[in-house]
Amino acid sequence: MNSLSQDLLAIARNIGPQLPSLLTLLICLVILLVRRKRYPKVTLIAALGLVLLILHSLVFAVADVWLLRSFVEAESVDLDHFYAIFGLVASVCLAIAFGVLLVAIFIDRDRVAPNG
């Protein structure tokens, strides 16, 4: 098996377990787009958050295979440090995507007057 075939198989192994989540995100995105006329601003921000989550899953599944190879072949790199930095970057990107979704939840809400 050549290198590209091995890489594609490794990427498929990384994405495979995420397929139910990716399918759920796509269904949510379709539902958002169908109902976009009711709350256009919220829909746009929520759709952006869902797209970021989908991209996060796909990009980091591919990066896990190809970045590791390019760093290890280019120079001797400590794998513990590589995975620590890779995990930190992945976590920050995931936090940004969830932050965008959180903004979509609370944007354009009317303030409730306290009962007193």
Domain that holds residue 24: 3-106
Does 62 fall in a domain? yes
- The reply to whether 63 falls in a domain is yes
Residue at 54 is within a domain? yes
Q: Is residue 112 part of a domain?
A: no
Q: Residue 108 gets which letter from DSSP?
A: T
Query: For 14-32, b where at least 16 C-beta lie within 10 A, e where not — what string?
Result: beeeeeeeeeebeebbeeb
First-to-last alpha carbon distance for the chain, in angstroms, is: 73
Is 49 part of any domain?
Answer: yes
Report residue 114 as tokens.
């306290």
- Going from the first residue of the chain to its last (116 residues), give the mean pLDDT of each consecutive group of 10, the final group possibly shorter: 80 91 95 90 94 95 83 70 89 97 88 70
What pLDDT was estimated at residue 73? 66
Give the number of domains in the chain.
1
Give the per-residue pLDDT at 1. Answer: 55
Tally Cβ neighbours within 10 Å of residue 81.
10
Helix pair angle (40-74, 19-34), 10° resolution: 150
